[in-house]
Structure 1
Amino acid sequence: MGDSTSASGTGGFGEILVSSRSLDEYRAMFALSEQDLRRRILDCPGSAAGFTAEVCARGGDVTACDVAYFGDGSAKVAATAVAEAERGNDFVRAHAQDYRWEFFADPDAHRRARSESARQFAAHSGSHPQRYVPGRLPQLPFADNSVDLVLSSHLLFCYADDLDPEFHRRAIIELLRIGTELRVFPLVPIGSRTPYQRLRALISELADDGVDCRVVDVDYEFQVGAAQMLMCRRARESATRS
Structure 2
Amino acid sequence: MLVTSRSYAEYEAMFDLKELPDSVLDSCAGGASFTAEAAARGVDAIAVDPAYELEPAELVDTVRRSLPATSGIVDEHQGSFVWHWYGSPQRKDEYRIEAADRFLQDIEIAPERYIAAGLPELPFGDRRFELVLCSHLLFTWADKYDQEWHAAALRELIRVSNHEVRVFPLVMQGAGDPIPWLPELLESLEGVTSEIRKVPYEFQAGANEMLVVTRT
| Both structures adopt the same fold (TM-score exceeding 0.5) | yes
Q: CA contact under 8 A between 2:77 and 2:175: conserved in structure 1?
A: no
Per-residue deviation, residues 195-236 of structure 1 (Å, max 9, x unmatched): 311111111111xx32321111111111111000000123x3
Distance 1:145 1:116 in 2: 32
2:124 aligns with 142
1:18 aligns with 3
Q: CA contact under 8 A between 1:93 and 1:107: conserved in structure 2?
A: no
Distance 1:75 1:188 in 2: 33
Distance 1:109 1:80 in 2: 22
Q: CA contact under 8 A between 1:185 and 1:229: conserved in structure 2?
A: yes
Which of the numbers 84, 93, 116 marks the counterpart of 2:66?
Answer: 84
Q: CA contact under 8 A between 1:21 and 1:50: conserved in structure 2?
A: yes
Q: CA contact under 8 A between 2:14 and 2:210: conserved in structure 1?
A: yes
SS at match of 2:202: coil
Distance 1:86 1:110 in 2: 11
Distance 2:57 2:165 in 1: 28
Q: CA contact under 8 A between 1:19 and 1:49: conserved in structure 2?
A: yes
Aligned partner of 1:32: which letter? L
Deviation at 1:145, TM superposition (A): 1.1
Unmatched runs of 5 consecutive residues or more in structure 1: 5-16, 237-242
**Cα distance change on mapping 1:82 and 1:101 into 2, 3 Å:** same
Which of the numbers 190, 197, 206 marks the counterpart of 1:216?
Answer: 197
The answer to whether residue 210 in structure 2 is matched with residue 232 in structure 1 is no
| TM-score, normalised relative to structure 2 | 0.94
Unmatched runs of 5 consecutive residues or more in structure 2: none
Deviation at 1:78, TM superposition (A): 2.9
Q: CA contact under 8 A between 1:69 and 1:133: conserved in structure 2?
A: yes
Distance 1:74 1:129 in 2: 10
Distance 1:74 1:160 in 2: 30
| TM-score, normalised relative to structure 1 | 0.84
Distance 1:115 1:137 in 2: 26
Calculate percent identity across the aligned residue pairs: 41
**Cα distance change on mapping 1:53 and 1:144 into 2, 3 Å:** same
2:40 aligns with 57
1:130 aligns with 112
Per-residue deviation, residues 166-210 of structure 1 (Å, max 9, x unmatched): 11111111111111210000000012334311111111111xx32
| RMSD between superposed Cα atoms in Å | 1.5
SS at match of 2:188: helix
Which of the numbers 157, 164, 171 marks the counterpart of 2:153?
Answer: 171
SS at match of 2:211: strand
If asked which structure has higher relative contact order (CA below 8 Å, sep 6+), I would say 2
**How many residue pairs get matched?**
215
SS at match of 2:166: strand
Per-residue deviation, residues 58-116 of structure 1 (Å, max 9, x unmatched): 2222100011112x456533332122112112332443322111111111111111111
Which of the numbers 19, 30, 50 marks the counterpart of 2:15?
Answer: 30
**Cα distance change on mapping 1:74 and 1:174 into 2, 3 Å:** farther
The answer to whether residue 100 in structure 2 is matched with residue 115 in structure 1 is no
